[in-house]
Structure 1
Amino acid sequence: MNLRSTFGKKRSCLVICGEGGVGKTSLACQIARWAIAETKDQRLCEHLMLPVLLEEEFRVVEGKSSLLEAIRGQLQALIDEPEPVCVELLTQLLRKQRIIVIVDRFSELNATTREAIVPDSPEFPVNALVITSRIEEKLGRVNKTIIKPLRIEANKLSSFMEAYLMAIAILPQS
């Protein structure tokens, strides 16, 4: 899957939507691995991007952005630092696409959390965003790429695997 055209833009929004169990979160985690790939040709864009996964409701913090505070908390845990990253540095990292934010289970989050994620707002600091959802999210007028993984039916799985393995030359062709 080539997502370079999506993440090569100044603002990137990717929505992975589909029914439960089709692999939305697994795909989002693969995208996170591509964001930090060692070789440039495997990355989402030219530079490395630090993935931050948000999968819980945001806490409301008086006078502060609940989205930024959630990202700061995850980043602090990720880098194992006693002090949180300052808001100004975090905002610049988000605006320069040095951090990719993955919001998992968006359609299942409460209204307060969902309302904190407004990618079509000029004040929205996240310029590399991935959302997984059970529904195709509108997200205002933001340009977005939509991926809809499909469930593989059990009766089709064996023929799919056989064709796949032949294609990558693991099985000898008959």
Structure 2
Amino acid sequence: MTDLSPLLPTAADLINRCKATGLTIATAESCTGGLIAATLTEIPGSSAVVDRGFVTYSNEAKTAMLGVTEETLAAHGAVSAPTALEMVGGALARSPADLAVAVTGIAGPTGGSADKPVGLVHFGLQRRGAAPSHESQVFAGLDRSGVRLATVEKALEMLLALTGEPQAGAP
């Protein structure tokens, strides 16, 4: 069992900030298998903020649930910036949430390559009405659990930073 307790203070800050600003969240997760949503829902009162989580571990799920195109997957692979961006856009398109984060990566211990090493994670982030953004990070030297927890931590921090941005089109 993965210990989420070190992440709970950040999750609580995110939930509280979203409650105060009326923002809701959707997650689109591959390598974390739902751990971002699980961490958020550990916080009492999170139901006012967490709209839904999409766990799309397979390429078929990414396509069926989030609208990631087969062309994107064929050209760039599941672990890529274009896939993360299509995942986050799909999460917002398929939910009423205000904020979305998407993660796709290689948690290991196998599956890496020279171009896509174990620990590589692509993040998609978007606030409704604004352009999506992408970041990638290699969480080198961590085991599978460590990569997944580091991914959740970074996703929570990215969402927290996004709560401070003004709504597009807001007065």
Fold shared by both chains (TM-score > 0.5): no
Normalising to structure 2: TM-score of the pair? 0.30
In terms of fraction of residues, the more helix-rich structure is 2
Higher RCO (Cα < 8 Å, 6 or more apart):
1
